[in-house]
Chains A and B, each alone.
Chain A
């Protein structure tokens, strides 16, 4: 898309320029043609230069007086006429320029040109976010604090103005534009090789599909991360090649299942998403008794799968008969308003162990919980919170477990973007079962503590200079155990646990300490922040590596080997 602002200015300036030229030429010609009288009383004609000079200062209202001689009455008559002609023409031209400067179209063009320049200059990897809302805002907040650059495309100009109030440490360029126009993606730099991902988290599945489709068509190397809450869209998205399709309801259903069946895995998953490694009251769902789920929409159907797998007795209440009719035969779905006391009694709320308010209306969810609690004060309550802004009310309602869809999506998307290994780790542990999970959790708690951090790194030249050099030169196999040693005393170990190693296509969960390191490995670790520093030192610094490997302070020969070349002789 070419920049139009300059052409726009010039094109708009055409009429004022005509007016100026025509009025000036008429006035000049008149001044030349009308005879005057000089100081000796002889008749004369103004030359073109005299006339041009006079008209120039008259039209611009500078007014040096009559020159070269006092004007005669016929000349004064003409001047009187041309004053109005040229001054009006001049003011009109000035006015047009000022209007043009304030013009919205021009302002938009200039903003666009600035945006294009920013994108052109951007060398670092960046991520395009489609839509600026509370979710994408939260993700961008976290990404910018990690130094990852983002670009925003948003239809609503007002929201972009709000963005200017945010004080990001690195600039976040924003473009006003409708995503249905393919040029918008191009302007946002999707074709650039350093555009890493496109994120679209609209509530509207159709919109997400549209974004994914155009993004993939314009650059098939870009990672497309979209939200899809309905199965058919999820399928479509996968067909067109969207890399990551996120369904918040599936995650919720999975978590409900995990908290019923394997709490250790739940702990691990929540820990990767940023929670401490403990089970809180909100994670302890009643394992027996009947569950009442209000709402048989997208979340309800997802929960159905999770509850069924966990072998829980459940019943649904759905207000819309149309949605209720979609239920498979044998499923217990009651039609009625879930906050209606009679309906709740009919669903045996006084006997039930747990009620899940899963409608898309936050107020309705609250009133369901309140109604159920009044009948059965001991019931375990779970409520879905659709909008982050409603958090205060939900907190006041003292609900046992609040599921915030937006927060969940923020954490999930952030993980896929900034911590791909951790994201993969969560997916892998699901196949390992509760027994395995409990072992990992115990190991982490014993070695590290209740709230370990995670750290991802790669064994390559830029992250592990010393290690890679040493391995290439000596050909020696170094076990992963080396990374866990302490820099000040190699016989002691840092509180550190290597969770996951990705070696090409091969994926190793919890590698044995004697597993040899290979160049190109991607590693996910859990531990304390300080110990990650040690790991980085060992990987990058020749002296530190030498110490943890041999136990001796680095000898001259090893230093000179690194400094002077592999054979120890000066090059």
Chain B
């Protein structure tokens, strides 16, 4: 068992589950989406990204790319939230934007997990 694999696997999957927890619910109702969950999803995604930095393999590069996509989508979601709350005011449009941005990040997270699992299955041990 490789401890590094455990930790990186943990963060990659936690990023997906956290993001899913935030995303799940009516996309027009902000009350069904917890702000703490979004915060933790962002943090976990950032950590998962750093784990993939400096990996010279081809797979590492693709994983890094998907992670960066998820980061950008989630940070965009948080920015839209802050913008809605302080500048433009919350309306349904803003709420759907937040949720759909996190949905996009969720897709990137799924790709990450699939690639990661594929790599694990491919290795002989």
Contact = CB atoms under 8 A, between A and B. Distances in A.
A13 B53 contact: yes
Contacts of A431: none
Contacts of B43: 21, 25
A7 B54 CA distance: 5
Contact of B85 (A11, A28, A47): A47
B110 to A, nearest CB: 23
Contacts of A32: 36, 39
B53 A10 contact: yes
Given A21-B47, A47-B85, A49-B86, A14 B39 contact: no
Contacts, number: 40
Nearest to B39: A48
Contacts of B50: 14, 17-18, 21
Contact of A14 (B53, B56, B81, B82): B53
A21 B39 contact: no
B12 interface: no
- Which of A2, A10, A28, A32 is packed against the most chain B CB atoms within 10 Å? A10
Contacts of B101: none
A393 interface: no
B53 A11 contact: yes
B35 interface: yes
Interface string A12-39: 0110011001100100110010000000
B16 interface: no
Interface in B25-43: 35-36, 39, 43
B13 interface: no
Nearest to A16: B50
B70 interface: no
Contacts of B68: none
Contacts of B54: 7-8, 10-11, 14
A10 B68 CA distance: 15
Contact of B35 (A7, A13, A21, A48): A48
A105 to B, nearest CB: 14
Interface in B85-119: 85-86
A14 B8 CA distance: 13
Nearest to B54: A11
Nearest to B85: A47
Contacts of A25: 39, 43
B78 A48 contact: yes
Interface string A37-60: 000000000011100000000000
Contacts of B78: 48
A21 B46 contact: yes
Contacts of A28: 39
Contacts of B46: 21
A7 B55 CA distance: 7
A49 B78 CA distance: 9
Nearest to A17: B50
A22 B40 CA distance: 11
A49 B85 contact: yes
Contact of B47 (A2, A7, A11, A18): A18
Contact of A29 (B39, B51, B53): B39
Nearest to A53: B82
A49 B53 contact: no
A516 to B, nearest CB: 63
Nearest to A6: B54
B39 to A, nearest CB: 6
Contacts of A11: 53-54
Contacts of A2: 56
Contacts of A21: 43, 46-47, 50
A49 B82 contact: yes
B42 to A, nearest CB: 8
Contacts of A17: 50, 53
A328 to B, nearest CB: 61
Contacts of B35: 48
A344 to B, nearest CB: 68
B43 to A, nearest CB: 4
B109 to A, nearest CB: 17
B80 to A, nearest CB: 11
A292 to B, nearest CB: 66
Contacts of A10: 53-54
Contacts of A22: 47
A13 B49 CA distance: 12
A11 B54 CA distance: 5
A318 to B, nearest CB: 58
B7 to A, nearest CB: 11
Nearest to B51: A14
A526 B36 CA distance: 90
Contacts of B53: 10-11, 13-14, 17
Contacts of B51: 14
A560 B54 CA distance: 67
B52 to A, nearest CB: 10
Contacts of A49: 81-82, 85-86
A28 B42 CA distance: 12
A127 to B, nearest CB: 33
- 9 nearest interchain CB pairs? A11-B54, A49-B82, A10-B54, A25-B43, A10-B53, A17-B50, A21-B46, A7-B54, A14-B50
14 contacts: A7-B54, A7-B56, A10-B54, A13-B53, A14-B51, A18-B47, A18-B50, A22-B47, A28-B39, A29-B36, A47-B82, A48-B78, A49-B81, A49-B82
Interface of B: 35-36, 39, 43, 46-47, 50-51, 53-54, 56, 78, 81-82, 85-86
Given A17-B50, A48-B81, 9 more contacts: A7-B54, A10-B53, A11-B53, A11-B54, A14-B53, A18-B50, A25-B43, A28-B39, A32-B39
Interface of A: 2, 7-8, 10-11, 13-14, 17-18, 21-22, 25, 28-29, 32, 47-49
